[in-house]
Amino acid sequence: MPYIEQERRYKLEEDGALSPRPDTPGELNYCLTVLIRNYLDDPDSGNGPVNYEKYNAVIGALECCKLELYRRMIAPYEDDAMQRHGDVYDT
């Protein structure tokens, strides 16, 4: 997942890869698209030319990012809402 070395995180942040922060869903989509295109189009990445493997890697990274977001942020939010408002399932 996103657990990369701290030094590399700082480098990505310094290079502006993580800013400015998007304000709307459209801006978020745009930022993600630009990051993906930069990954796919980078001849110096050492990953070779664009091919199915790179496309598959992008889809996999997006899916894992989605799952991690759900696991770490959305599920706890939903659990809290369930406690405050009551469960919709009879258990």
Q: What would the pLDDT profile of 62-81 be if each residue is shown by its tens digit?
A: 999 999 999 999 999 999 99
In a domain, 25, yes or no: yes
CA-angle at 35, arms to 50 and 47, nearest 5°: 30
pLDDT < 70: residue spans in the chain: 1-2, 15, 17-18, 43-47
The tally of domains found in the chain comes to 1
In a domain, 90, yes or no: no
In a domain, 1, yes or no: no
In a domain, 28, yes or no: yes
Question: What local confidence, expressed as pLDDT, does residue 59 receive?
Answer: 97
- Report whether 39 contacts 45 (CB < 8 A): yes
In a domain, 57, yes or no: yes
Question: What local confidence, expressed as pLDDT, does residue 1 receive?
Answer: 53
Domain span including residue 61: 6-85
In a domain, 91, yes or no: no
Question: What local confidence, expressed as pLDDT, does residue 20 receive?
Answer: 73
CA-angle at 25, arms to 21 and 27, nearest 5°: 50
